[in-house]
Amino acid sequence: MAGTNRDIEVARAFHDRTAHSPASVRSSGHALDWAVKPLPFKIYPDLPEVLLPTAVDPLPGDALTALAGPAPASAGPLTLGTLAAVLFFSAGLTRTKSYPGGEAMRFRAAPSTGALYQTEVYVVAGAVEGLGAGVYHFSPGDFRLRRLREGDYRAALADLAAEPELARRPATLVLSAIYWRNTWKYQARAYRHLFWDSGTMLANVLAAAGLLGLAPRILAGFVDADLGRLRRWTTPPSASCTRRRCSTRRRRSAPGGGADPCPRGPRAGRQSRCRRRGRWPGGASVRRSSAAGRRGSSRTSR
């Protein structure tokens, strides 16, 4: 059951338990099992896909300009090309380095602990020129969007976040994380990395979208489980920006009654070679204590 996001003792205990020290580093018996290293990309093999424009222009400003403040808000519509630019400079592949033997390292716009890149990006679009309304997963590997849901879900997203403005925004980016990609190497400490890495990506989003005049804004409070269902999360365990694991086992009524607006959908393709994933002490409890379990708590948790 979700907590009130005020159980700070749980977070403090987790912080203390996973803090590094000279002794903890030397005494750790954890070894990497390369045979089950997680795959670097989430794969939806059978969903409709949208090719994003690859001719992405440089941003109209440098890092210092972005830090100084966003550009004036644009009065024009949000186009697929502009959305592609935000995705590329926030989470796209920037270059590939090949090593002897054929192994390749794919670098991304936002760095990640251990180059494991557990942060995933979804797009809830409703008024993007050149893109149909729907919920999409962004695939940096082939620079495409894959449609998880068809239709305008901005109002549903606004309700889950207790933020009416989202229903009027042309599109919203939603970040999630696949735990196993990071716990494979860092065990329980990976929970910290979910926030470090998503924060780095969000900084890129603010800089890129701000320079493009999109007036970006970050929201970190929403009903975790319902938002997970909106994006049809399935195995492996993934989580919202507040990092709560989501379940699709129970169907709930729509806000105010009626049919469920987010029925269960198809599974993603296999994400990992591992059949058994470790459960690290403290991770589940800190997720539960920080997750918003009802719409009223979404706003108060910010």
126-176 pLDDT per residue, tens: 999 999 999 999 999 999 999 999 999 999 999 988 899 999 999 999 999
pLDDT at 101: 83
Mean pLDDT is lowest, of 79-93, 142-156, 183-197, 248-262, for 248-262
Using pLDDT thresholds of 50, 70 and 90, give the confidence band for residue 274.
very low
CA distances from residue 159 to 48, 71, 135, 219, 291 in whole angstroms, order as listed = 27, 29, 15, 13, 16
Distance CA 210, CA 71 (A): 6
Q: How many CB atoms lie within 10 A of CB 65?
A: 15
pLDDT at 76: 87
Distance CA 204, CA 61 (A): 13
Both tokens of 203, joined, read 């900084």
Please tell me which residue, 5 or 254, carries the higher pLDDT value: 5
Is 188 in contact with 176 (CB distance < 8 Å)? no
State the CATH architecture for 45-68+78-98+115-249: 3-Layer(aba) Sandwich (3.40)
Residue type, 105: M
In degrees rounded to 5, what are phi and psi of residue 209?
Answer: -65, -35
